[in-house]
Amino acid sequence: DAKTTQPNSMESNEEEPVHLPCNHSTISGTDYIHWYRQLPSQGPEYVIHGLTSNVNNRMASLAIAEDRKSSTLILHRATLRDAAVYYCIHIARFQGAQKLVFGQGTRLTINP
Protein backbone atom coordinates (compact mmCIF):
# COMPACT_ATOMS: atom_id res chain seq x y z
CA ASP A 1 0.00 0.00 0.00
CA ALA A 2 1.06 3.58 -0.60
CA LYS A 3 2.91 4.93 2.43
CA THR A 4 3.16 8.44 3.79
CA THR A 5 5.18 9.71 6.74
CA GLN A 6 4.07 12.57 8.99
CA PRO A 7 5.14 13.84 12.40
CA ASN A 8 2.98 12.36 15.16
CA SER A 9 2.12 15.75 16.62
CA MET A 10 2.59 19.48 16.15
CA GLU A 11 1.65 22.51 18.15
CA SER A 12 0.99 26.09 17.12
CA ASN A 13 -0.58 29.27 18.39
CA GLU A 14 -3.88 30.78 17.37
CA GLU A 15 -3.76 33.17 14.43
CA GLU A 16 -0.31 31.97 13.36
CA PRO A 17 0.44 30.00 10.18
CA VAL A 18 0.91 26.24 10.43
CA HIS A 19 2.97 24.12 8.06
CA LEU A 20 2.22 20.40 8.21
CA PRO A 21 4.81 18.29 6.36
CA CYS A 22 4.36 14.93 4.67
CA ASN A 23 6.76 12.58 2.91
CA HIS A 24 5.43 10.27 0.19
CA SER A 25 8.59 8.98 -1.45
CA THR A 26 6.84 5.99 -3.09
CA ILE A 27 4.37 8.13 -5.00
CA SER A 28 3.98 7.36 -8.69
CA GLY A 29 3.56 9.90 -11.44
CA THR A 30 -0.22 9.92 -11.57
CA ASP A 31 -1.07 9.53 -7.87
CA TYR A 32 -2.96 12.44 -6.38
CA ILE A 33 -2.01 13.79 -2.96
CA HIS A 34 -4.96 14.28 -0.64
CA TRP A 35 -5.21 15.85 2.81
CA TYR A 36 -8.02 15.14 5.25
CA ARG A 37 -8.57 16.11 8.85
CA GLN A 38 -10.53 14.47 11.60
CA LEU A 39 -11.99 16.57 14.38
CA PRO A 40 -12.83 14.81 17.67
CA SER A 41 -15.78 12.43 17.35
CA GLN A 42 -16.27 13.19 13.65
CA GLY A 43 -15.52 11.50 10.37
CA PRO A 44 -12.54 12.51 8.23
CA GLU A 45 -13.14 15.74 6.33
CA TYR A 46 -11.64 16.60 2.95
CA VAL A 47 -9.23 19.55 3.09
CA ILE A 48 -7.40 19.78 -0.23
CA HIS A 49 -5.77 17.73 -2.96
CA GLY A 50 -3.29 18.20 -5.80
CA LEU A 51 -1.15 16.46 -8.39
CA THR A 52 1.83 18.60 -9.33
CA SER A 53 1.05 22.27 -8.88
CA ASN A 54 0.47 24.12 -5.65
CA VAL A 55 -3.21 24.45 -4.78
CA ASN A 56 -5.25 26.92 -2.76
CA ASN A 57 -8.78 26.73 -1.45
CA ARG A 58 -10.77 28.42 1.29
CA MET A 59 -9.48 26.01 3.93
CA ALA A 60 -5.78 25.74 3.18
CA SER A 61 -2.94 25.72 0.68
CA LEU A 62 -1.01 22.71 -0.55
CA ALA A 63 2.62 23.06 -1.57
CA ILE A 64 3.96 20.09 -3.55
CA ALA A 65 7.69 19.55 -3.97
CA GLU A 66 9.02 19.51 -7.51
CA ASP A 67 9.94 15.81 -7.26
CA ARG A 68 6.51 15.13 -5.67
CA LYS A 69 8.09 13.11 -2.88
CA SER A 70 6.85 15.50 -0.23
CA SER A 71 4.16 18.07 0.34
CA THR A 72 3.17 20.65 2.95
CA LEU A 73 -0.30 21.61 4.07
CA ILE A 74 -0.44 25.26 5.04
CA LEU A 75 -3.08 26.71 7.33
CA HIS A 76 -2.56 30.43 6.90
CA ARG A 77 -4.08 31.58 10.16
CA ALA A 78 -4.87 28.79 12.61
CA THR A 79 -7.94 28.95 14.82
CA LEU A 80 -8.90 26.77 17.76
CA ARG A 81 -11.31 24.95 15.44
CA ASP A 82 -8.38 23.72 13.37
CA ALA A 83 -7.25 21.42 16.19
CA ALA A 84 -7.57 17.96 14.65
CA VAL A 85 -5.65 14.99 13.30
CA TYR A 86 -4.42 15.77 9.77
CA TYR A 87 -3.87 12.91 7.33
CA CYS A 88 -1.75 13.07 4.21
CA ILE A 89 -2.66 10.37 1.70
CA HIS A 90 -1.72 9.46 -1.80
CA ILE A 91 -4.33 7.50 -3.60
CA ALA A 92 -3.38 3.85 -3.97
CA ARG A 93 -4.54 1.74 -6.87
CA PHE A 94 -5.81 -1.79 -6.36
CA GLN A 95 -7.09 -3.83 -9.29
CA GLY A 96 -8.10 -0.71 -11.16
CA ALA A 97 -9.80 0.84 -8.15
CA GLN A 98 -8.63 3.71 -6.00
CA LYS A 99 -8.50 3.74 -2.25
CA LEU A 100 -7.38 6.10 0.47
CA VAL A 101 -4.79 4.47 2.69
CA PHE A 102 -4.49 6.37 5.96
CA GLY A 103 -1.27 6.64 7.98
CA GLN A 104 -1.09 7.67 11.61
CA GLY A 105 -1.60 11.37 10.83
CA THR A 106 -0.40 14.48 12.67
CA ARG A 107 -2.28 15.59 15.76
CA LEU A 108 -2.36 19.39 15.62
CA THR A 109 -2.82 21.32 18.86
CA ILE A 110 -3.66 25.02 18.71
CA ASN A 111 -2.86 27.14 21.75
CA PRO A 112 -5.04 30.19 22.49
Partner 1 sequence: DTAVSQTPKYLVTQMGNDKSIKCEQNLGHDTMYWYKQDSKKFLKIMFSYNNKELIINETVPNRFSPKSPDKAHLNLHINSLELGDSAVYFCASGQGGNYGYTFGSGTRLTVV
Which residues in this chain contact partner 1 in the complex, by CB under 8 A?
Answer: 31-32, 34, 36, 42-46, 49, 51, 85, 87, 91, 94-102, 104
Instruction: Please count the helices (runs of H) and the strands (runs of E) in the chain.
Output: 0, 11
* Contact (Cβ atoms closer than 8 angstroms) between residue 100 and residue 34: yes
Smallest gap, in angstroms, from Cβ of residue 83 to partner 1? Answer: 15
Q: What share of the chain is helix, strand, coil (3-state, %, to 5)?
A: 5, 50, 50
C-beta closer to partner 1: residue 79 or 98? 98
Smallest gap, in angstroms, from Cβ of residue 15 to partner 1? Answer: 27
C-beta closer to partner 1: residue 16 or 99? 99
* Contact (Cβ atoms closer than 8 angstroms) between residue 60 and residue 88: no
C-beta closer to partner 1: residue 28 or 79? 28
